Structure formats: structure tokens, C-alpha cells
Amino acid sequence: MTRSAGAGRSWTVLVARTILVMAGVACAESQVAVQSKPGDLIWTVRADAPAVTLAVGATQQLSATALTADGAKVLGGPAATFVSKDPSRVKVTPAGSVTAVAATTAPVSVTVSLTANGITLVDTVLVAVTPVARPIKTFAFRPDSTRFPQGAYVTAPLVVTDSSDAPVTGLAIKFTSLDTRILRMNGTNTIMALRRGKAKLVVSTMSYGVARSDTVEYTVTNPMTASVGYYDRATLAQEISPLQVFVGAGGSVTFYNLTGSALSVTFADTTGVVGGNLVNVANSSVTLRTFRVPGIYNFANQNGVAGSVVVLPAD
């Protein structure tokens, strides 16, 4: 194949232009990367008062703060917009001026939203309305214990009284876990213990214009209960679930026989297993075994399907 000198020059010019264009694109992308600061972008919006209680006819100004991914406040950012889920009881202007219209049986949600970087961010303010104002004297956690096992559901024990020491109800109250990996709220005031560790729970309200809050630290200990189910493989395509469970020393494991026939479960070592092996347990039965000594207890049923109980040291 032959090529003229003119064609060679055209090819050279084309290559040179391509290199220049690519270099320009690279520079532009490089400048965008340098100028962009992800840490400065608005990451979330947070209501400044997460729960508010007002008497009928009272008004209050709500506000919200935009935060970066690092938790820093964003100054001069976009304004938040407020919308009431029940204007017949709690009326609110787009700018956040809330008016208590009628008494509520349960707090009304006021949605707080702002749009930043093409994304709408949302938070919620709980607003309750009472017939008359009852100033709060006591607003505090009163737990019987700050320790409970993994897997437990516990009611957050809050004491709220007025100046005459009478209980106050109907307030807008918000519970917040500071580590949702360990503690998480399930409903209004029920705590779920998800994993071992320590985590703080904060309760807060804005009652008749006065901010109230309290904090308690809970310790989630080893789980003390677990369960193992045996099934009809032909029906459920499995014979045991789960294959491994965890309990603390002194904890119990419940074995469910749903196989349709008798079940036997043999432990490789019955030391520390209160009750020992399961022998010809009837179908649809529930059998409990308690494990007192830390260690790994391997077991298998009469079909050779194996599992294990891991018993953790006492907390």
C-alpha cells in the first residue's frame, strides 16, 4: 500500500488535533475534580426540633438545618419547606410557622424537605396539640435495667410529669438511637437490640416552647435464646435452618420438629447440654436445650444433617 506525501501531512495534522482535543478534555475533567468538594455538598436535612407540643391556638416557628456528609451546618443553603399531614389539626406555612388548630389523639407529622444538587432531602417533625398547656416538671428515662440481650424488644421507660407530679400524656416525643447498628426503634417507644455493644438512646421534645431531652446508654449482651428448625426436605428443599446459632452461657435453644416423623438429634459432646440428646421426638413438637458451658456444640440428626450451637462466654 502506498501513500502520498500530502496524505501523510493530513494524517499527521489529524493525529495532532486528536491529541490536543484529548488533552483539553483531560484538563477539563481534571479541573472539575479539583474544584468539586464532595464533603461540602448538602447530605441531609434535619429538623431543629424533632417533636413539638402546643396548646390549642398556640403558634411556633419551626426550622431545619442542612448538613454536609461530615455533619457540618450549611450556611446560606436552600430553604426548607414544611407541609402538614393533617392541616385540620396542625396548620403550617411553607416557611414553617405552625399553628395548633385542634387537639390531637396522636402527633401529626409535618414533613420538612429541601432540594439540593437535584435531590430532595426529607425529615419529619412530630407535632401534638393539647387542649391546655401543662408545663413539664420531669422528663427523664427511668429504666429498670440498662442491659438486655441481643434479640430483645424493650419498651423505652420515659417518665413525664407536670408541676403537680401528675403524669403528662399526649406529647409529641421522639426517640433517637445514636447507633442504629446496635439499637433501633421499632414503633413509637420500643427498642430492638440488634447486636452486642453499647449505644445511647436520646428522647426529645419541644413542649410549649421549652426544649426537653434525656439520654441513656444501653448495653446489649449476648443473645440468650435461639431456635433451630427441622423440616421435610421434599416439601421445603431444606432440612435444617439455621445451620448455626449463637447464645450466651446459660442460654437456651429451641428445636422444632416439622419433618412429619420422629426426630433424633445427637450432640458430639453433651457436656454442658442440659437434657442431653433428643431421642425420637414426635412430629410438631418443641424441645428446649440449655447450654451452660461456653464452646461449640456440633450436632446431627438421624439423617446426618449437621449443625452447631456456639455458646459464648457470659457477659
- pLDDT tens-digit readout, 220-272: 999 999 999 999 988 888 899 999 999 999 999 999 999 999 999 999 999 99
How many CB atoms are located within 10 Å of the residue 18 CB?
10
For residue 4, is pLDDT > 80?
no
- pLDDT tens-digit readout, 199-226: 999 999 999 999 999 999 999 999 999 9
Q: Give Cα separations from 140 to 31, 42, 46, 70 (angstroms).
A: 53, 34, 23, 30
d(CA 231, CA 259): 4
Say what the pLDDT of residue 66 is.
Answer: 87
How many CB atoms are located within 10 Å of the residue 193 CB?
23
Query: Of 67-76, 218-227, 277-286, which range is least confident?
Result: 67-76
- pLDDT tens-digit readout, 81-109: 999 999 999 999 999 999 999 999 999 99
Q: What percent of the chain has pLDDT over 70?
A: 87
- For residue 262, the one-letter residue type is A
pTM here?
Answer: 0.70
Q: Does domain 225-312 have CATH number 2.60.40.420?
A: yes
Say what the pLDDT of residue 302 is.
Answer: 94
Phi-psi region of 94 (alpha: psi -120 to 50; beta: other; left: phi over 0): alpha
- pLDDT tens-digit readout, 18-68: 333 334 434 444 333 333 455 557 778 899 999 999 999 999 999 999 888
Domain spans of the chain, in order of start: 40-130, 136-221, 225-312
225-312 and 136-221 share a CATH fold:
yes
Task: Compute and round to an integer the Cα radius of gyration of the chain.
Answer: 31
Confidence of residue 72 (pLDDT cuts 50, 70, 90): confident
Q: Are strands 64-68 and 263-267 parallel, antiparallel or unpaired?
A: unpaired
Say what the pLDDT of residue 111 is.
Answer: 96
Topology annotation, domain 136-221: Immunoglobulin-like (2.60.40)
Say what the pLDDT of residue 40 is.
Answer: 59
Q: What is the DSSP letter of 224?
A: -
Measured at the CA of 250, the angle between CA 248 and CA 254, to 5 degrees, comes to 85
Say what the pLDDT of residue 291 is.
Answer: 96
Topology annotation, domain 40-130: Immunoglobulin-like (2.60.40)
For the chain, the average pLDDT equals 86
Say what the pLDDT of residue 88 is.
Answer: 97
Say what the pLDDT of residue 2 is.
Answer: 37
